[in-house]
Amino acid sequence: MATLRRSLLRLRQTLMLSDPRSPVSLRSHVGSISRFYSGHGSVDVDLSDEESKRRLHNRLLYRSRQRGFLELDLVLGAWVEENIRAMDQLHIRALMDVLDLENPDLWKWLTGQEQPTEAVKINPVFCAIQSKVMSNLNSHAAPETRANPGQPWIRGWDDKKGVGGGPKYGNQ
C-alpha cells in the first residue's frame, strides 16, 4: 500500500509539473485510491452527518486491520475499534497520519525497539497506542524476554545452529 501511495504521489507531481496552470486533483485521476492517502491534507474529514461519519470510521477501521503485518493488524485494529467513536476531527487526522506510517517502522516505534521521529512522538494517537502496547508488554511479558531498548527483538530461527550442542540443521 505504501508503494502505491508513493507511486500516486509521483504521478501527481508529474501531472502538476506537466501543466502548472491547471490544478490537477489526484482524486480525479485515481478514483477511490486517493481517499486512502491522508498526507498533506488530501482527505477531507467529514463528521457532519452520521452517514459520513460511519463511512470514515469504517474506512479507518479497515485500514487499521488490513495492513499486511499481523501484529499491527491486531494491535491497531483493536485500538481503533475501541476508540474511533470518541475521536474528534483532530484525533482522526492524527490517526490517519499513524496509518500512513510504514509497517516496520511503526512496529519498532510502538514496541520501543527504536525511537520514533519527533513528528511521530507528538502525535496524540501514536502516544495512546504506544502506551497501550507498552502496558500490555509490561503486563504479559517478562522484561528479560525482550531485547534492550533500541535493539531488535527478532533473532534468526537457527541462531544456535551447531553451537554448544545445538542442532546442526534447522531449529530442532
CB 149 within 8 A of CB 138: no
Could you give phi then psi for residue 38, rounded to 5 degrees? -110, -5
From first to last of its 172 residues, the chain has per-residue pLDDT tens of 667 767 776 666 666 554 444 444 333 333 333 334 444 444 567 777 888 889 999 999 999 999 988 999 999 999 999 999 999 999 999 999 999 999 999 999 998 888 999 999 999 999 999 999 999 888 887 777 776 776 666 555 545 555 565 555 544 4
Nearest to 64 by CA among 40, 82, 49, 90: 82
Cα separation, 115 vs 109, whole angstroms: 6
Cell numbers found for residue 84: 474511533
Q: What is the pLDDT of residue 142?
A: 77
User: What are the structural domains of the chain?
Assistant: 10-40 (no CATH), 44-145 (1.10.150.250)
The pTM assigned to this predicted structure is 0.63
